[in-house]
Amino acid sequence: MGFPNCPICIAAAFLTACITVTRGYFLYFLYTEAERRALQLVPVYD
Q: Does residue 1 lie in a domain region?
A: no
Q: Does residue 21 lie in a domain region?
A: yes
Q: Does residue 13 lie in a domain region?
A: yes
Q: Does residue 14 lie in a domain region?
A: yes
> Distance (Å, rounded) from C-alpha 9 to C-alpha 6?
5
Q: Does residue 31 lie in a domain region?
A: yes
pLDDT at 2: 59
Per DSSP, 3 falls in state S
SS (H, E, C) 4-43: CCCHHHHHHHHHHHHHHHHHHHHHHHHHHHHHHHHHHHCC
Q: How many domains does the chain have?
A: 1
Q: Does residue 45 lie in a domain region?
A: no
* Domain with 12 in it: 7-40
pLDDT at 3: 64
Q: Does residue 2 lie in a domain region?
A: no
Could you tell me the mean pLDDT of each successive run of 10 residues in the chain, 46 residues long?
75 93 92 75 60
pLDDT at 18: 96
Q: Does residue 11 lie in a domain region?
A: yes
